[in-house]
């Protein structure tokens, strides 16, 4: 006759708890396999300059007190503002317009100090390097083939004198440029990294990482092909991570150096692995609703948040969570672009109706500015100004006086 074993209720609970913990551990290990652990990045905020010394640093508890401090009224029609930046000393504002006009505005003297005629620009294909010493835009339009009508090539100008530094597939390089050269370098977006030494472009299913050279030959570099219908990419301010959004709403985040096989600080190759290898560990996210266009994608400076703006909604994710990472999901109409402040605590959304400001700590809307169509915006390096451009080409400086 077999002996029967009876477990006490307390013992049974302990065994069940142990089984649950083991199962949860296995689940988390499975989840972490192939998941990139995003590390925080130290946030750097500039000291106030002569123009902002009387203003408070912008925070979620005072952002509702924003008011206009100054305005640059542009009398000429240069098209839409497609880029705003500041010089390394924060004293000069750089304004790039869609018709190619670059204006340098002295914040202390309160006047235009230089104007340059560069080349036609577009926000997806144009911008500045980290210290505002260089501005880039696309080279020209593709006239034949499957990509006819798309942008191609690139141009790089110095902002001090408006001089051409480097280019490919642009009339600025060669008055008799051949159509094939533009076709060789189609682009859907451009970035300039490593303070102007590294050009990143993407198009359909590939991303190119190209060392910028002064010679006007074909830009050779690293290429990551077969990435499945790229709609937009974003590179973290720390340059440590790259986010790749696809047309199906999926987003992958990868370590930029591992993805590109280059040291972001030196531009040198660091391994023999193929760029964009599918075995690279990554974080995968998904935009919850179907959309027609992805209008913006941005990391915050601390690598804690990623935000995406579609034609239908604003979505943010916490990059510090393995599961349940989606944070803010808000229906949006007529959104133009998004920008995090320098601390990563505030997210500003530019729309055709004004500016909506969200607290990232609370995950909610904290202020709205009904100022009409805002086409571009960013937070000043000392986090004391919200700078934005309206649809008429004027630039506004908003802050909170002491």
Give 267-311 pLDDT, tens digit per residue: 666 654 544 444 456 788 999 988 889 999 999 999 999 999 999
Q: How far is CA 278 from CA 64, 273, 350, in A?
A: 45, 11, 35
What is the C-alpha to C-alpha distance for residues 273 and 392, in angstroms, rounded to an integer?
48
Going by the DSSP 8-state scheme, the letter that residue 55 receives in this structure is: B
- What's residue 265's pLDDT? 63
Strand partners of residue 115: 103
Q: DSSP label at 159?
A: T
CA angle 201, 202, 206 (to 5 degrees): 125
pLDDT at 33: 43
Would you give the DSSP letter of residue 108?
T
The secondary element (H helix, E strand) that includes residue 245 is: strand 241-246
Identify the three-state secondary structure at position 29: helix
**Cβ-contact 52, 385 below 8 angstroms:** yes
- pTM score of the predicted model: 0.85
Low-confidence ranges of the chain (pLDDT < 70): 1-37, 174-182, 194-195, 213-227, 262-281, 322, 324
d(CA 359, CA 20): 36
d(Cα 229, Cα 257) in Å, to the nearest integer? 22
Tell me which DSSP letter residue 124 carries.
G
Q: Which residue has the tokens 């317009």?
A: 97
Q: CB of 222 within 8 A of CB of 200?
A: no
- CA-CA distance, 69 to 67, in Å (whole number)? 6
Cα–Cα distance measured from residue 10 to residue 13, given in angstroms and rounded to the nearest whole number:
5
Instruction: Mark residue 303 as left, alpha or beta (left: phi above 0; alpha: psi -120 to 50; beta: remaining).
Output: left
- Distance, in Å, from the CA atom of 244 to the CA atom of 188, rounded to the nearest integer, reads 13
Nearest Cα to Cα of residue 244 among 271, 225, 272: 225
Residue linked to tokens 């472009």: 201
Residue 330 C-beta-side C-alpha neighbours within 13 Å: 20
- In this predicted structure, what is the pLDDT of residue 51? 82
What are the angstrom distances between the C-alpha of 137 and each of 122, 199, 273, 375? 7, 11, 31, 18
Angle CA 10–12–13, to nearest 5: 65
Q: Which residue spans within 16-145 are E strands per DSSP?
A: 67-72, 81-86, 92-97, 101-106, 111-117, 127-128, 134-141
Element (DSSP H or E) covering residue 327: strand 326-331
Using the structure block, give the residue that is written with the tokens 């098209």. 79
Q: Structure tokens of 396? A: 């506004």
């Amino acid at each position: 006759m077999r002996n029967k074993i009876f477990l006490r209720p307390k013992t049974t609970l302990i065994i069940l708890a142990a089984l649950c913990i083991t199962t949860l551990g296995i689940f988390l290990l499975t989840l972490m396999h192939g998941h990139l652990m995003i590390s925080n990045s130290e946030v750097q905020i500039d000291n106030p300059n002569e123009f902002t010394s009387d203003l408070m640093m912008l925070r979620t508890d005072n952002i509702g007190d924003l008011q206009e401090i100054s305005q640059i009224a542009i009398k000429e029609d240069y098209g839409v503002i497609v880029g705003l930046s500041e010089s390394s000393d924060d004293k000069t504002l750089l304004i790039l317009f869609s018709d190619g006009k670059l204006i340098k505005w002295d914040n202390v003297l309160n006047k235009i100090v230089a104007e340059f005629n560069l080349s036609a620009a577009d926000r997806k294909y144009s911008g500045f390097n980290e210290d505002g010493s260089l501005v880039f835009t696309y080279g020209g339009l593709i006239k034949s083939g499957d990509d006819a009508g798309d942008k191609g090539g690139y141009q790089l100008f110095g902002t001090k004198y408006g001089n051409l530094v480097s280019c490919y597939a642009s009339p600025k390089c060669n008055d008799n440029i051949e159509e094939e050269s533009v076709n060789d370098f189609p682009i859907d977006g451009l970035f300039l990294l490593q303070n102007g030494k590294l050009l990143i472009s993407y198009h359909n299913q590939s991303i190119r990482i190209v060392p910028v050279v002064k010679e006007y030959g074909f830009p050779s570099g690293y290429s990551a092909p077969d990435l499945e219908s790229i709609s937009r990419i974003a590179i973290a301010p720390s340059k440590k991570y790259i986010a790749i959004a696809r047309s199906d709403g999926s987003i992958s985040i990868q370590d930029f150096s591992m993805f590109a096989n280059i040291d972001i600080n030196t531009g040198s190759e660091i391994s023999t692995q193929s760029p964009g290898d599918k075995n690279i560990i990554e974080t995968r996210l998904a935009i919850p609703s179907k959309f027609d266009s992805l209008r913006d994608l941005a990391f915050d400076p601390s690598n804690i948040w990623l935000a995406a703006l579609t034609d239908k909604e604003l979505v943010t994710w916490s990059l510090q969570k393995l599961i349940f990472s989606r944070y803010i999901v808000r229906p949006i109409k007529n959104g133009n672009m998004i920008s995090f402040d320098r601390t990563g605590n505030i997210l500003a959304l530019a729309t055709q109706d004004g500016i909506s400001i969200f607290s990232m700590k609370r995950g909610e809307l904290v202020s709205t500015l009904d100022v009409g169509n805002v086409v571009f915006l960013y937070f000043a390096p000392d986090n004391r100004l919200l700078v934005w451009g309206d649809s008429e080409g004027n630039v506004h400086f908003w802050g909170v006086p002491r």
